[in-house]
């Protein structure tokens, strides 16, 4: 009985260590990622998402989806092929521990962007972004809802349009992002993406 109990404790402990991720090993693995995502996870161009401060569970899911082909990411083709599940946990742990730099919203788009983010678009039955991503854009790490605050507007726009068209479909059976993005116009997407950028400050 004692041996069984010790075995259970060791198994649970091993699972916990696996799930936690090793940021130092993740930093070493992230060297190949730096060209696009920046050494500290703050990318220098809007074509590439900043990963600094992003929730670990969300990052792991995206890495798994990209590796499996469930999320298309042409520029990452082959990069994750040799990554083990633990490697992805480690990389996610590293980026999650970094500090995001953020940016500023376009003043001309601020009012419309804030309205969409905080209240949705009632006439189109589009829910407020705050419901999942929080009023401050920090997301919900436990639920794997991503932090949006400070993200490049170009990247956010591209993802919303990908969800709108169905090209991106890794938002689960609920299709919450596809359904919410479905009726957003290009102008509305631009406005809310700009507002999200400013939430980083």
Residues 93 and 175 in one domain: no
Here the tokens at position 95 are 């980026």
Question: What count of other Cβ atoms lies within 10 Å of the Cβ of residue 86?
Answer: 15
Rg, C-alpha atoms of the chain: 18
Residue 188: give the domain boundaries. 107-198
What is the pTM for the complete model shown? 0.89
The string of pLDDT tens digits covering residues 24-42 is 999 999 999 999 999 999 9
> Is residue 113 domain-shared with residue 95, that is, in the same domain?
no
The DSSP H or E segment spanning 181 is helix 176-181
pLDDT digits (tens, 9 = 90+) for 78-117: 999 999 999 999 999 999 999 999 999 999 999 999 999 9
Do 140 and 82 lie in one domain? The reply is no
Query: How many beta carbons lie within 10 A of that of residue 113, not counting itself?
Result: 26
pLDDT at 18 over 70: no
What are the tokens at 168?
């991106």
For residues 112 and 83, membership in a common domain is answered with no
**CA pair distance 112, 102, nearest whole angstrom:** 20
Residue 138's CATH number: 1.10.760.10
What's the confidence (pLDDT) of residue 174?
Answer: 95
Residues 57 and 119 in one domain: no
71 and 148 belong to one structural domain: no
| Spatial distance between the Cα atoms of 55 and 147, rounded to a whole number of angstroms | 7
86 and 145 inside one domain = no
Same structural domain for residues 146 and 186? yes
Domain shared by 93 and 115, yes or no = no
Model confidence at 200, in pLDDT bands (50, 70, 90)? confident
Q: Does 116 share its domain with 178?
A: yes
């Amino acid at each position: 009985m004692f041996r069984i109990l010790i075995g259970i404790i060791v198994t649970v402990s091993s699972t916990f260590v696996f799930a936690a991720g090793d940021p130092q090993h993740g930093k070493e693995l992230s060297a190949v990622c730096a060209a696009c995502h920046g050494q500290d996870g703050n990318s220098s161009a809007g074509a590439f998402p900043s990963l600094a401060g992003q929730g670990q569970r969300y990052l792991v899911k995206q890495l798994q989806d990209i590796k499996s082909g469930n999320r298309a990411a042409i520029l990452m083709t082959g990069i994750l092929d040799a990554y083990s599940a633990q490697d992805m946990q480690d990389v996610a742990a590293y980026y999650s521990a970094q500090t995001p730099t953020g940016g500023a919203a376009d003043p001309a788009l601020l009012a419309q962007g804030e309205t969409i983010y905080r209240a949705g678009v009632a006439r189109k039955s589009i829910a407020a972004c705050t419901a999942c991503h929080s009023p401050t854009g920090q997301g919900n790490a436990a639920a794997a809802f991503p932090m949006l605050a400070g993200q490049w507007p170009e990247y956010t726009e591209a993802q919303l349009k990908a969800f709108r068209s169905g090209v991106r479909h890794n938002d689960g059976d609920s299709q919450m992002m596809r359904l919410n993005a479905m009726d957003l116009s290009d102008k509305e997407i631009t406005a809310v993406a700009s507002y999200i950028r400013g939430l980083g400050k």
